[in-house]
Structure 1
């Protein structure tokens, strides 16, 4: 039932942004819009730069996701995957 969990990746903020941008077939420039530069987006995607909360709000709107999703830490993602795997294993027991 929850077999999709096995294929979930634990992603950094930059990796999430890049993955979402590519899923939406957006270029760096399209995501940046008139708010920041494509180079700044590139730095964020490579986890070479930190973002302000205001910029996270902007990016979450552009990518149509919640800020909570973007801010979810690797530890939180790992716990979610672990919890789902436990639930899945209980189904088979």
Structure 2
């Protein structure tokens, strides 16, 4: 978050947790926005959602949006820890 964004958040009374939550929402929306226009994803028993639907759900902060944030954060964490790489290597050996 830039200094100006931090100052604006502090002036609006946002806590650090709220600032982080907003940063995460913006990150997930940006990552979804990079998906092709025809992209869709099925989320459990909730149904299938287009890229734009998912972005809206993340913006709204509803259960689908929260689930999408959880999915994306788990994916990024797996990249960070190397779990996806380990899984990929093991899959290639099978």
Shared fold, TM over 0.5? no
TM-score range, shorter chain: 0.3 to 0.5
Answer 1 or 2: which has greater strand percent. Answer: 2
In the superposition, the TM-score normalised over structure 2's length comes to 0.33
Answer 1 or 2: which has greater helix percent. Answer: 2
Higher RCO, 1 vs 2 (CA within 8 Å, ≥6 residues apart)? 1
In the superposition, the TM-score normalised over structure 1's length comes to 0.34
